[in-house]
Structure 1
Amino acid sequence: MSRQRIAIIGAGPSGIAALRAFESAQRAGAKIPEIVTYEKQDDWGGQWNYDWRSGTDRYGEPVHSSMYRNLWSNGPKEALEFAEYTFDQHFGRPISSYPPREVLWDYIDGRVRRSKVKNKVQFSTAVRWVDYDRDQDTFTVTVENLRSGKTTSSEFDRVIVASGHFSFPNVPDFEGIETFPGSVRHAHDFRGAEALDGKRVLLIGASYSAEDIGVQAHKMGAASVTMSYRTSPMGYDWPDGIEELPLLDRFEGQTVHFSNGETREFDAVILCTGYLHKYPFLPAELALQSPNNIYPAGLYRGVVWQKNPRLYYLGAQDQWFTFNMFDAQAWYVRDLILGRAALPAAEQRAAHMRTWRNRFQELDGDADDVRFQGDYIRDLIEATDYPMFDIDEVVQIFLDWKEDKVKNILTYRDKNHRSVMTGTMATTHHTPWLEELDDSLERYLSTPAAAAAPTDSDQATETVVISEEISVNGVDGHARVNVR
């Protein structure tokens, strides 16, 4: 029997999880398929691979990442930690619970930095189309090398879609918005809050993107921040200068009319209106079409495309858990492909999906949502050899995080949590988040107090402490623990 060929589309955290899953099996002595991963960016990391560009990239392709320069994790790192590669293992010391983007990218990259899985990735390569041949039971994947412009096609036995679903912005229309003289952009194109200094800012939306960009704008000196909600306000104890108003009714130049009759004038508008499940490289019979939710219809155990169980999706859910959920999904998909796990018949898969979808339909609020996703991850891990971790404790970390935000939306990032993987308590970052304007890896891992009072020439420069095991480098809605 010939060796299977597997295509992975995307080398963000989900695609890397798939590569790592197969690598783990291979290290244990298993024979794995031939794997080819296509990544349209020049490096891996997906959303966490920051690009200053917006709109189109250097090749004229739509920019994938929604990451902005001064983003810090807006959920505890202890909730996303890999079970088989901890923050302690990577950094060699405790770090704070809410690191900035570059630190998280270094962690993602570090897990696979010294492996050979990067050899399985074709970078700067965009997938143009995927065809499925029913007679041959194979996929033909057509790609373009963006550097050379060359287009090629290859056959694969199975396809893993790991391209994420937070890259195609949902851009609604508003009456009169064409008359607004200031800047208008979607959160996908937002690259930093420094330019909002002194500006009156309107954020349309009431979820994690609006929340985080709003407090970033406040931190960077915006004159005022107004968030317009459609259904209900976030309801935090906002500081002076931040407010929530109901959905806007119309624009008249700089003046915005809201549905409660109030008006405000603005200099900048940011649409925090979510993202579309969009897979332009897939025909309709293979493409997931779903609102952003934690249990999309059509995916058995959240990963297997019911209409064609040789096609898989990773990270297609709305996300509370992130990196460790992608791992749980990747390990399960790997075991299906390797024949370690049996795939039930279509009728049994449908019944399983109905059971989970019925439970999903009954969820009422964030606490229910996070517990549901925790149970979903537990169900996947129990079917594989991925290390089980205390999922209930991670759920509690999420609930504590929510409470911390209610207490103070500007200081919750200064709180510490304990790792469920190692028991290590996070340290307090040397500078409160509201005062920290440098989000670089070097600054984050430094000890600036030592530089402030040098005792000899050796202490005259800021010290950077990094584990000897790592090197310093230079990520599927909105943002929770990752950018969304």
Structure 2
Amino acid sequence: MGRVAIVGAGPCGLSSLRSFSQAEENGVQIPEIVCFEKQSDWGGMWNYNWRTGVDEFGEPVHSSMYRHLWANAPKECLEYADYSFDQHFKKSIPSFLPRETIRHYIVGRANKSNVRQYIRFNCVVRYIEFDQDDARFTLRYTELITGEDKLEHFDYIVVAIGHFAVPNMPHFDGIDRFIGRVIHSHDFRDARQFTGQRILVVGGGLSAEDIALQTYKFGAKSVTISYRTKSFNYNWPLEIEELPLLNRIAGNVVHFKDGSKRIIDAIILCTGYKHHFPFLTKDLQLVTANRLYPSQLYKGIFFKRQPKLAYLGMPKFYYSLPFFDAQAWFLRDVILGRILLPNAEECSKDMKTWREREKRLNGSFEGIDFQIEYARELLDATDYPHVDLDAAAAMFKSSQRHKQKNILEFRDKLFTSSLTGTNAVALPKGLRWIDAKEEEILYTD
């Protein structure tokens, strides 16, 4: 059965580990598994780290997590089918949760699954290549505590490091002479540092949306969102406005394509991330834009040119934690021999069908349906516990409608778990999300 290397102990890596532990609990013999995690603890992107740039070992800081982040989807859409929120917290809690509470839940299942035994912490993978003669991968890594470099061989590689660690950094005329601070959202840590300032947020995705709200929530004087393709068109408060993409900067004055200009104190680039895998040889690296179905991955998982190399969590996603489980269970069953991959021609045909379907999508609702159907195909092929995907789709869409109606209040909405039937409760003390600013609004006791 061989050896399996999992790179990363974030949500994707933990889903993969849990899939194997579930099989072992059911009496199935599993391969030898080694998970390499460069951080000192598990949780991946959900680990808040005050550091930016490099960590204590001089390694690039992986996490883009900021201190006061809250989930932008109801927890009822994030629920593991084998580990409910009720099971973890022993009480009903709100639908929208702060980052530490989500991490507590993710780690709770990992602890219960006893998967820590497979993880080597403070170990950074440096290089992976495939030996055609040996039909195995050679993996080199460094133990950061000792500084020792080591080499091992594996039959399968699972890349589970996500794609929110290497910023996409566009250039704008005059940005190098801007009188103020410029950061990428990767290095955004605490909105309080922007209190009383005039902020420019560049971008049109979820990071731009949320960081605009964060800086407003913690007292920015004004927030201008500069978009490239289309505006959010939310019912923003008066302090937040949207303008077309900037075209140049002069001192602290930013000029926009519609001819308008604003005096700005700080610029936050919410311009996305690159899929970046420098530890793999060039022939093994996934190259893709942020899309729902990466073009080089069969079933969104298996690298077309080398199917013993798998990538988890690479698509753009609406659905996250159970989505990672769907990929992990399918991958596990391929490794265990329960699912046989078709030949290269059939793989290409299947991938083309999904990509063509993706091209026809119009709007977020159709994107949600696309991803739900993709997850359904994976889950139906495995023994993953039943999850109501139709209910998840309905909740995603309902949340989107709430957001469009009132961007400041959508996180105050309450949903019902399709897994347990439990109704969510409001925040304590009558708080609204916009007023909940301190870490004590957690559910980790």
Q: TM-score, normalised by structure 1?
A: 0.90
CA–CA separation in structure 2 for the residues paired with 1:35 and 1:7: 6
Structure 2 counterpart of 1:45:
43
**Cα deviation 1:126-184 (Å, max 9, x = unaligned):** 10000100111100000001111100000000100001111000000000001112110
Amino acid across the alignment from 1:87: F
Displacement after TM superposition at 1:444 (Å): 2.5
Structure 2 counterpart of 1:459:
none
CA–CA separation in structure 2 for the residues paired with 1:25 and 1:444: 33
Displacement after TM superposition at 1:299 (Å): 0.7
Structure 2 counterpart of 1:361:
359
Within 5 A, what are the aligned runs for 1:209-358? 209-358=207-356
Structure 2 counterpart of 1:126:
124
Amino acid across the alignment from 1:438: E
Please tell me whether residue 113 in structure 1 is matched to residue 111 in structure 2. yes
- 2:182 aligns to what SS in structure 1? strand
Displacement after TM superposition at 1:112 (Å): 1.6
CA–CA separation in structure 1 for the residues paired with 2:426 and 2:52: 34
Structure 2 counterpart of 1:475:
none
Amino acid across the alignment from 2:407: I
Displacement after TM superposition at 1:196 (Å): 0.8
CA–CA separation in structure 1 for the residues paired with 2:319 and 2:113: 25
Displacement after TM superposition at 1:285 (Å): 1.1
Query: Is the CA contact (8 Å cut-off) linking 2:86 and 2:92 kept in structure 1?
Result: yes
Indicate the RMSD between aligned Cα atoms, in angstroms.
Answer: 0.9
Structure 2 counterpart of 1:469:
none
Worse-superposed segment, 422-431 or 310-319: 422-431
Please tell me whether residue 97 in structure 1 is matched to residue 87 in structure 2. no
Structure 1 counterpart of 2:438:
438
Structure 1 counterpart of 2:190:
192
Within 5 A, what are the aligned runs for 1:404-419? 404-419=402-417
Runs ≥4 in structure 1, deviation > 6 angstroms? none
Displacement after TM superposition at 1:30 (Å): 0.4
Within 5 A, what are the aligned runs for 1:75-90? 75-90=73-88
- 1:444 aligns to what SS in structure 2? coil
CA–CA separation in structure 1 for the residues paired with 2:74 and 2:181: 32
Of residues 200, 205, 208 in structure 1, which corresponds to 2:206? 208
Of residues 170, 173, 176 in structure 2, which corresponds to 1:175? 173
CA–CA separation in structure 1 for the residues paired with 2:386 and 2:201: 40
- 1:285 aligns to what SS in structure 2? helix
Structure 1 counterpart of 2:397:
399
CA–CA separation in structure 1 for the residues paired with 2:171 and 2:182: 12
Query: Is the CA contact (8 Å cut-off) linking 1:171 and 1:271 kept in structure 2?
Result: yes
**Cα deviation 1:211-265 (Å, max 9, x = unaligned):** 1010111110000000000011001010011000000010001000000000100
Displacement after TM superposition at 1:206 (Å): 1.2
Q: Which runs of no fewer than 5 residues in structure 1 stay unpaired?
A: 446-465, 467-471, 473-484
CA–CA separation in structure 1 for the residues paired with 2:204 and 2:310: 31
- 1:132 aligns to what SS in structure 2? strand
- 2:133 aligns to what SS in structure 1? coil
CA–CA separation in structure 1 for the residues paired with 2:116 and 2:238: 48
* Higher relative contact order (CA closer than 8 Å, sequence separation 6+): 1
**Cα deviation 1:344-374 (Å, max 9, x = unaligned):** 1111111111111111111111111000000
CA–CA separation in structure 1 for the residues paired with 2:358 and 2:227: 24
CA–CA separation in structure 2 for the residues paired with 1:78 and 1:439: 22
CA–CA separation in structure 1 for the residues paired with 2:371 and 2:354: 11
CA–CA separation in structure 1 for the residues paired with 2:280 and 2:76: 35
- 2:268 aligns to what SS in structure 1? strand
Query: Is the CA contact (8 Å cut-off) linking 2:18 and 2:113 kept in structure 1?
Result: no
Query: Is the CA contact (8 Å cut-off) linking 1:382 and 1:388 kept in structure 2?
Result: no
Worse-superposed segment, 106-115 or 371-380: 106-115
Worse-superposed segment, 164-173 or 388-397: 388-397
Q: Among all aligned residue pairs of Structure 1 and Structure 2, give the percentage whose two residues are the same amino acid.
A: 48
Structure 1 counterpart of 2:59:
61
